[in-house]
Amino acid sequence: MAERNTVVGIDLLVAGALIASMGYLLVRSTAINAFGFSLATVGAVVLLVVPEDIARPALSRLLADSTANLEALLEETGLRARAYYIPSPEGLKSFVSGGDEGSNGGAEITADELRTLARPPLSLIIESRGRKGLLLTPPGATLVREAALGAGDDPEEAVRTVVVETSGLAKGARLVQEGTSIKLELNSPVSESRTPYYNRCLGTLATSVAACAIARVLGSPIRLMEEQLDGATRFAVFRLFSEEASKEER
């Protein structure tokens, strides 16, 4: 069944087009013609704007619930390292390596290696540099895909769209990229869920959804490096894993 916005948008568009054409062909009235044109543009706007599929508070609660299973998995496996967010044709993935926090088995992992990890055959437990890790689908992966975000979009705009407008996980977002360092600022994020393992590895919910959006639009893997709450603002720093950014930094 077609959703409400589509039906209303098409109705207004068709009615506007009919009024405009009748105003031009039958009555030769500019005012009627212009009225039809205005009505048609309002219909087009209603048709183009993304409809609200689900109430934002409900969506943020569903997202919070979806972290519960990952929390249990991370607690069970004992993984503590910060996650990598890897964009791939199969969807966005998060890789939590078995190494210590701040390293991946002691050696720096490259963008190509990360991309290889997210290629089929995909499995939950994968091995990187002799250490087992988890390849997860973070809660924001589908949200980012459905938001029609793509490589080349503005990262700050993408974060604002997904975290602020679509899911209502924060009231505002700012993002600054300096070489391979990406600094994120989220204003008044929703109260954090009690998921310490998830928060430690993938970041808090708002940050991890933002990370999905950033990785998707930049088209390169990123890693959460640090995250802290200062008053009502959450600060997070990501590292970009791309050959171009690394060259620029050098």
Partner 1 sequence: MDTKLRFILVYSVIVFSAYTAYVFLNQTDLGVYVSSVAVIYFALRLTLNPQYRTRVDFLGLILLALFAYFVAERVLQILEPT
**Collapsed DSSP state (helix, strand, coil) of residue 21:** helix
Q: Select the span of 75-83, 114-122, 142-150, 204-212 touching partner 1 (CB under 8 A).
A: 142-150
Question: What Cα–Cα distance (Å) separates residue 154 from each residue in 160, 191, 220, 235?
Answer: 10, 27, 14, 19
The interface region with partner 1, picked from 70-78, 160-168, 201-209, 222-230 by CB under 8 A, is: 160-168
In this chain, which stretch among 113-121, 134-142, 145-153, 225-233 interacts with partner 1, using CB under 8 A?
Answer: 145-153
Nearest distance in Å: CB 28, partner 1: 11
Count CB neighbours of 1 within 10 A.
Answer: 5
Give me the 9-38 binding string for partner 1, x by CB under 8 A, dash otherwise: ---------------------xx-xxx-xx
Site for partner 1 in 60-89 (CB under 8 A): none
Taking the C-alpha atoms of residue 209 and residue 215, their distance in angstroms, rounded to an integer, is 10
Candidates 157, 183, 185, 187; binder of partner 1 (CB under 8 A) is 157
Give the bridge partners for 175, in sequence order.
184
Which residue, 46 or 81, is less far from partner 1 as judged by CB? 46
Q: Which stretch binds partner 1 (CB under 8 A): 39-47, 100-108, 204-212, 230-238?
A: 39-47
| 3: amino acid identity, one letter | E
- What 3-state class would DSSP assign to 134? strand
Residue 67: enclosing H or E segment and its boundaries?
Answer: helix 56-77
Q: Which of 76, 108, 148, 230 binds partner 1 (CB under 8 A)?
A: 148
Binding string to partner 1 for residues 203 to 232, with x set by CB under 8 A, is what?
------------------------------
Instruction: Please tell me whether residue 150 binds partner 1 under the rule CB under 8 A.
Output: yes
Q: How far apart are CA 163 and CA 190, in angstroms?
A: 10
CB of 181 to partner 1, least distance (A): 26
Q: Is 248 strand, coil or helix?
A: helix
Contacts of residue 146, Cβ cutoff 8 Å, sequence gap at least 6: none
Taking the complex as a whole, how short is the minimal distance between the CB of residue 53 and partner 1, in angstroms?
12
Query: Minimum distance from CB of 32 to partner 1 (Å)?
Result: 10
CA distance readout (Å), 5 to 16, 54, 56, 58, 136:
16, 13, 17, 20, 34
d(CA 226, CA 238): 7
Maximal CA-CA distance, the chain: 79
Number of residues that bind partner 1 (CB under 8 A): 25
By CB under 8 A, name the binding residues for partner 1: 30-31, 33-35, 37-38, 41-42, 44-46, 48-52, 56, 147-148, 150, 157, 161, 165-166
